[in-house]
Structure 1
Amino acid sequence: MTTQEIAVKVHFVTIDEDNEGQRIDNFLVTKLKGVPKSMIYRIIRKGEVRVNKKRIKPEYKLQIGDMVRVPPVRVSQSNQDNAPSPKLAKVNQLEERIVYEDNYLIALNKPSGIAVHGGSGINYGVIEALRSLRPQQKFLELVHRLDKETSGILLIAKKRSALKHLQDQLRKKLMQKDYLALVRGEWQKHDKLINAPLLKITLKSGERIVRVNPEGKQSQTRFKIVQKYQGATLVKASPLTGRTHQIRVHCQYAGHPIACDEKYSEAKFDDSMREQGLRRLFLHAAQLEFTHPNTEQRKIVQAKIDDDLDAVLAKLKRA
């Protein structure tokens, strides 16, 4: 039985401010839903995609007024059907976890256990789910990322201009992120700033991890003790740089790995935390402070930690 296919007709798109500055390959990924990236690069390379009647490269950045020729592409129905149904419980619950929304952005309290985007064996993530929930929304893009097992504040831009504005703040270190983490042992007061370069490493097994290494990228995280417990400490971690697994590896480097971190924690400590009911990484993006892309006023969005983490803290004895 052959897979049903949908023939998409050639059409032309005039670029407005919502897509200004976006790479043509990323623009086509959004425009041609269900089309594999390999096919998108192929049609660009073959010259089937034109901007102002000229051939372009995948890294070309769109300008206001550009006329983009989007060629006819055959999209398999099975690929179309991969979009998550808005009726799925995991997808539907995201609507209830929006802590702030306006015409420019969404601030979501992301649950632990859902990736921010699909790929590498993951059918869908937060961004695909939100697009399914908001089919009328022309533009939805992640401003930044959170690890799959990390919960808390995640920003999604609703306009290209807002995305650029917010990501500029990230690059210039003008966005303040504060996380809560439960770590092993008694965090020392003098460990207020961890300054340790981080390097991504691929193990023989194919697993990717991050290690403190002098050849790595400069990485800094500020820490503050929130509450001491017997055998553990709740800390506020504020990354000054935005490296992969930064807080998790800096905690490990300081001798205080985060509870139930499958990559960087310690088995004995994790077992003791599981006895208290912990079933996930205890890392939560609690607060984000940034300049609003429209009002230019400083904005603070907060996400309360989930009940399961609260319940674990309630069982621990304060030191």
Structure 2
Amino acid sequence: MVKLDAKHNKSKVRYEDVDIEYQGQRLDNFLIRQLNGVPRSHIYRLIRSGQVRVNSGRVRANYRIKAGDRIRVPPISLNPAKTSQVSFEGVQWLGERILYEDSRVLVLDKPAGLAVHGGSGISLGCIEALRSLKSSLRQADLVHRLDRGTSGCLLIAKRRSVLRQLHMLLREKGMKKNYLALVKGKWSYGDKNVDLPLTRGSSNAREKVKVDPEGKSASTRFNVLENFGEEATMMKISIMTGRTHQIRVHAAHMRHPIAGDEQYGDFQFNAALAKKGLHRIFLHALTLEFLWPGSNEVFKVDSPLSEELKVVCSKLRS
């Protein structure tokens, strides 16, 4: 499969035959990866207008491609200045945050404030930056996601076949993901499982996700690690499901919102922690652990807490 990019502005129509490696991937995601540097909005326009075709027929963006499909890719007419190509110099620093790497996966110590992928209003995310870092990561993809403000372990698959394996593992709840979070007040429930279904709120609501009996199942385990008097509690949190904003919504619903959470949190608590040097949400993806499918090989990676968060804890203890 030839990697396409925005430099093919004046090319003729191209036809690409889908390898078995990409079977099951959505058409839009396939094109976003293959049309390197072309804005997502432009790719969606090409699909909606029928300029992109599969086996000579029109398809939707969510079409799941199959091995042997022939995809028609039209000429890409863009002003090169408006494409989102990422320079090596601009992402080189991210290579220093790789916690682990082998031929199958890598684990990135994602910094707070960097989105996992580009999108509406976000020109660059972790995955686009990593793909530009070195040739072995051109086909890399996200195994899971972290909120933009969350730091820590982010698992990346280097090949589509590995991605499918790990997505299956996630669906079967075979991957352990542990987080550290600082929450408001003295946690009053002991070690507790919170099983509360979640649903997305209306588009104009302040809270993007909310607890709803008719929502999708969501399960979060909260364990107390350290109490900071009545002011705050350090929690170890594990998730059995991976719903959007799950930890943040569950913590807020239990009346112990996460420090620095501007969407679901407590304004006065956030302001008090800001005076102690907290200028982000205190939510950190601490560990990833699983058994590789079909083997007894244990995979475990830890991400150290940043100095900024350590300083906040020290000030709470003093």
TM-score (ref. length: structure 1): 0.88
Q: Give the stretch that moved more between structures: 295-304 or 233-242.
A: 295-304
Structure 1 residues 277 and 49, CA gap change in structure 2 (3 angstroms)? closer
Q: Which residue of 1 aligns with 2:216?
A: 217
| Distance in structure 1 (CA, Å) of the matches to 2:202 and 2:48 | 31
What's 2:256 paired with?
A: 256
The verdict on how the C-alpha distance between 1:294 and 1:67 changes in structure 2, with shifts beyond 3 A counting, is farther
1:106 is matched with which residue? Answer: 106
Report the alpha carbon displacement of residue 147 of structure 1 after superposing the two structures with TM. Answer: 0.5
Greater shift, 162-171 or 189-198, is seen at 189-198
Check 1:277–1:60 CA distance in 2 against 1; reply closer, same or farther (3 A cut).
Answer: closer
Distance in 2 between residues matched to 1:199 and 1:218, nearest whole Å:
9
Q: Which structure 1 residue ranges, 5 or more long, are not aligned?
A: none
Cα 1:276–1:49 shift into 2, 3 Å:
closer
Q: How far, CA to CA, are the matches of 1:164 and 1:96 in structure 2?
A: 27
The CA distance in 1 between the partners of 2:128 and 2:244, in whole Å, is 22
Distance 1:255 1:159, change over 3 A: same
Question: Pairwise mapping of residues 23-102 of structure 1 onto structure 2 (< 5 A)?
Answer: 23-37=26-40, 39-44=42-47, 48-51=51-54, 53-58=55-60, 59-80=62-83, 82-88=84-90, 91-102=91-102
* Per-residue deviation, 1:296: 6.0
The yes-or-no answer on 1:187 pairing with 2:190 is no
Check the 8 A contact 1:5/1:75 in 2, yes or no.
no
Alpha-carbon contact 2:40-2:119 (below 8 Å) kept: no
Tell me how far 1:71 sits from its aligned partner.
3.0
Q: Which amino acid aligns with 1:6?
A: N
Quote how far apart the aligned CAs of 1:38 are. 5.0
SS where residue 316 of structure 1 aligns?
helix
1:305 offset after TM fit, Å?
0.9
Q: 1:219 to 1:68 in 2, by over 3 A?
A: same
* Equivalence for 1:142: 142
Name the amino acid aligned to 1:84.
V
Deviations 1:150-185 (A, max 9, x none): 001111111001111111111221111100001111
**Contact 2:207/2:263 (<8 A) preserved:** no
SS of the residue 2:9 aligns to: strand
How much does 1:36 deviate? 4.3
Counting matched residue pairs gives 310
- Correspondences of 1:226-237 after superposition (within 5 Å): 226-230=225-229, 231-237=231-237
1:242 aligns with 2:242: yes
1:73-96 CA-to-partner distances (Å, cap 9, x unmatched) read 32321233x2232322xx332111
Residue of 15, 21, 31 corresponding to 2:24? 21
Q: Measured at CA, do residues 17 and 305 of structure 1 come closer, stay the same or move farther in structure 2, by a change above 3 Å? A: farther
Deviations 1:21-60 (A, max 9, x none): 2222321222223434454445445654454x43252343
Aligned letter for 1:24? L
Pick closer, same or farther for the CA change 1:294–1:68 going to 2, 3 Å: farther
How do 1:125-136 and structure 2 match up within 5 A?
125-135=125-135
Q: Percent identity?
A: 45
Query: Structure 1 residue 9: deviation in Å?
Result: 3.0
Give the TM-score of the pair, scaled to structure 2: 0.88
Q: Distance in 1 between matches of 2:300 and 2:136?
A: 27
Given the superposition, is the C-alpha separation of residues 111 and 271 from structure 1 closer, same or farther in structure 2, using an over 3 Å criterion?
A: same
State the distance in 2 between where 1:84 and 1:138 align: 12
2:108–2:152 contact (8 Å) kept in structure 1:
yes
1:133 Cα deviation (Å)?
Answer: 1.2
SS at match of 2:15: strand
C-alpha distance in 2 between matches for 1:260 and 1:34 = 34
Shift of 1:67: 3.8
Alpha-carbon shift at residue 118 of structure 1 (Å) = 1.1
CA RMSD of aligned residues (A): 2.4
C-alpha contact 2:169 2:293 (8 A) present in aligned 1: no
Deviation at 1:298, TM superposition (A): 2.7
Distance 2:277 2:49 in 1: 56
Partner SS for 1:202: coil
SS of corresponding position for 1:250: helix
Q: How does 1:272-311 map to 2 (within 5 A)?
A: 272-292=272-292, 297-311=297-311
Greater Cα offset, 287-296 or 128-137:
287-296
State how far apart, in whole Å, the 2-side matches of 1:85 and 1:294 are: 38
Alignment gaps of 5+ in structure 2:
1-6
| CA shift for structure 1 position 119 | 1.5
